[in-house]
Structure 1
Amino acid sequence: MKIAIAATDNHIDAFVDRHFGRCEWYCIFDTQTNNYEFIPNTAFNLTKGAGYKAIDLLFGKSINVVIAGRFGSRAIEMLRAKDIQMIIPENQITINEILKNCKQNSN
């Protein structure tokens, strides 16, 4: 499974970004290999359609789950249509904490 995490920066000590489509980075984590990479969100500064463009970017990476602080209504519709699960953390959390939790749950 591949998980995309909206990130405030491109390192594991960054926090989960509050905005799915407007974050500057995504951390892509592969639960089968335990590898991760940061990719820039090329849509973060668009005036319109940032969520759509971000979803296309992530769909091309075969993402199954997306984690972000919130999702816009149109992004929710599109993610549901593509059968991509959305997770909103209850508290502010770092990318590193999510990666640790994912690794523990996959063992």
Structure 2
Amino acid sequence: MLGVGIDWAEEFHLVALGRSDAGVVEVLRVEHRPEAVSALVQRIAGLEVDPAEVRVVVETSHGLLVEALVEAGYTVLPVNPELVSRRRGPARKKDDA
């Protein structure tokens, strides 16, 4: 199974791709543009050909990115950004756009 964690932002997203047996295998910066989102979907497909074996966690439940991932057949699980914020530690800083 391939896990995809996405730190969503308006201009770009930080994406971590990982497996339970290998940890994080790749970290990507994905611009919030159709061609960049398409390239992300292709990269995910290159790591895991079976969409049923991909789980995506993202800080939003709508928009271009989510739509593309759902259309590709991936299970997309939105998470509350406040829950993610609490996991950042004492600084609670978010440094993306």
Bin the TM-score by the shorter chain. Answer: 0.5 to 0.7
User: What's the offset of the Cα at 1:18?
Assistant: 2.5
Distance 1:59 1:4, change over 3 A: same
Describe the SS at the equivalent of 2:84. Answer: coil
Indicate the residue corresponding to 1:85 in structure 2: 75
Normalized per residue, which structure has more strand? 2
Indicate the residue corresponding to 1:3 in structure 2: 3
Identity %: 9
* Residues 37-79 of structure 1: per-residue CA shift (max 9 Å, x gap): 33223x42x6543322222222222160111112554443432
Residue identity matched to 2:24 = Y
Number of residues of Structure 1 aligned to a counterpart in Structure 2? 82
TM-score by length of 2: 0.58
User: What's the offset of the Cα at 1:30?
Assistant: 1.0
Q: Which runs of 5+ in 1 are unaligned?
A: 7-16, 98-107
User: What's the offset of the Cα at 1:5?
Assistant: 0.6
Indicate the residue corresponding to 2:59 in structure 1: 69
CA distance in structure 1 between the partners assigned to 2:10 and 2:61 by the alignment = 6
| Structure number with higher relative contact order (C-alpha < 8 Å, ≥ 6 residues apart) | 1
CA distance in structure 1 between the partners assigned to 2:10 and 2:47 by the alignment = 16
User: Is the counterpart of residue 28 in structure 1 residue 14 in structure 2?
Assistant: no
CA distance in structure 2 between the partners assigned to 1:21 and 1:71 by the alignment = 17
Q: Which runs of 5+ in 2 are unaligned?
A: 89-97
TM-score by length of 1: 0.54
